[in-house]
Amino acid sequence: MKSVVSSCVLFLMVPSILWAAESSVGLKEALFLAMERNHLVSGASYEKEAAERGAAASWSRYFPRIFLDESFAVSNSPTRVFMMKLDQGRFASDDFLIGNLNGPSSRTDFRTTVSVEQPIFDLGIGYGRHLAEREAEQQGERYEGRREEVGYAVYAAYLEVQRARAVLATAEKDVAEAREHLRVARARNEQGAGLKSDELRARTFLSEMEERNITALNDLRLAKMRLALAVGGGAGESLDIREEVKGEPFRMNEDEMVREALLRRRDLKGAEKGMERAETAEGLARSAWFPTLYAGASYQMNDQDVPFGRDNDAWSAGVSLRWELFDGRRRSNDQARARASRDASAQYLEQLRKEIALQVRESILRRAEAGKRLEVARHALLAADEGMRLVNKRFENGLSTVVELLDSQSALSRARTGLVERETEYLLATARIYRAAGVFLKEMTE
């Protein structure tokens, strides 16, 4: 109950969150907003609704169809005038005169007809209904797959903001340290213990660090805009993150993830529904060989002067059997085409199963690879930090040049940024496993 209430409150807060100059969201909140407001999800939802409406409409062919027709005609054709008079109940004995039969005066007729048609036996109706239902189910799987894709895109955008913030913090730290190096180089130059060129090199290095800082600041701003866009905001809106994503232990082994993917991947389920549609389409083509049986009835009123009038009325009812005996091999070719389409769907489905299993295994291997790179980045940062400490001490004692100092500072800056990049890659690598297994939203929202 609490989760329902919180979801409703969050939904009511969505406009204020996105219209503010810049607000912040947590990961789960961002995913929720995206499922509610992202246009790709909404578009897929409407496609799903359209297919469901089509499936509901297909049931209507089992029910009787009732028509109301009103027609008007005027003619002096002998046969038409003869029938108009009969239908209107206005036929008289002098209408049999030869002159009246061969050259009647023009006559008007308003005909009102209510007719009913009811299928009794038509195999195509059942197969058409099954086709529409499989289409609705396939669109439903596509909708869920689109939710997975959008959820992963939001997660990637969220991580990009997190990465950009960390890179900006690193850049700001580099600027502060570069300013300190410039201060020391200027002081040493003023004291005669250093060279003017050392001060110039330190100033150039500071400018480079400030340039990196500007780039990092712009990257963060763009990342916030992309996050706002991913969750359904406008192109000019900005959205910050409220909390950082932390790496979590991976809970499933490779075989379990492959089995999960074969059970849950929405594109695979959609392909399976496509296979069922192809089988139903083959049945529809086969049903064309059978006859159809329909019942019908009509009630007719005719009037000479006014529409919907009733000078006379009549009714009729009957049953019609229609069986196509020769069609120039059209049905044979249609059935062969449907069979070939079914076989093609089966082949594509089998290939997709193999590719999904490979994608899961590859994503697990890439995660292990990303983990090793993260470990290397951590060690590299420790080494660069220690190297910077030693060179800085040597520089203070006049045992190292400013070039060595700035080189060490550059190495430390690269190590800091590299660690941020590797941490982001590792988090994305884990998300790719869940995405490949079709359980991304399940894992990220629980």
Report the range of poorest mean pLDDT among 164-178, 185-199, 217-231, 270-284: 185-199
Domain spans of the chain, in order of start = 2-37+122-288+328-445
pTM of the model: 0.84
pLDDT at 128: 94
Classify the C-alpha dihedral 333-336-341-344 as positive or negative.
negative
Q: Is the separation of the CB atoms in 165 and 248 below 8 Å?
A: no
Nearest to 156 by CA among 229, 207, 209: 229
CA gap 414, 57 in Å, rounded:
62
Q: What is the pLDDT of residues 79-137, one digit of tens each?
A: 898 898 888 888 887 877 887 788 888 899 999 999 999 999 999 999 999 999 999 99
Mean pLDDT, residues 27-47 taken together? 94
pLDDT at residue 402 tops 90: no
Question: Own/partner pairs for 370-375, CB < 8 Å, 24+ apart?
Answer: 370/422, 370/425, 370/426, 370/428, 370/429, 371/426, 371/429, 373/422, 373/425, 373/426, 374/419, 374/422, 374/423, 374/425, 374/426
Rg, the chain, Cα only: 39
pLDDT at 22: 60
Q: What is the pLDDT of residues 140-149, one digit of tens each?
A: 999 999 999 9
Q: What is the pLDDT of residues 357-388, one digit of tens each?
A: 999 999 999 999 999 999 999 999 999 999 98
Cα dihedral 386, 388, 393, 399, rounded to 10, equals: 120
Could you count the other beta carbons within 10 Å of the beta carbon of residue 60?
Answer: 11
Q: Whole-number mean pLDDT of the chain?
A: 89
Q: What is the pLDDT of residues 214-257, one digit of tens each?
A: 999 999 999 999 999 999 988 789 999 999 988 776 777 888 89
CATH classification (class only), 2-37+122-288+328-445: mainly alpha
CA gap 284, 335 in Å, rounded:
8
Q: CB-side exposure of 197: number of CA atoms within 13 Å? A: 3
Report the range of poorest mean pLDDT among 19-33, 199-213, 346-360, 427-441: 19-33
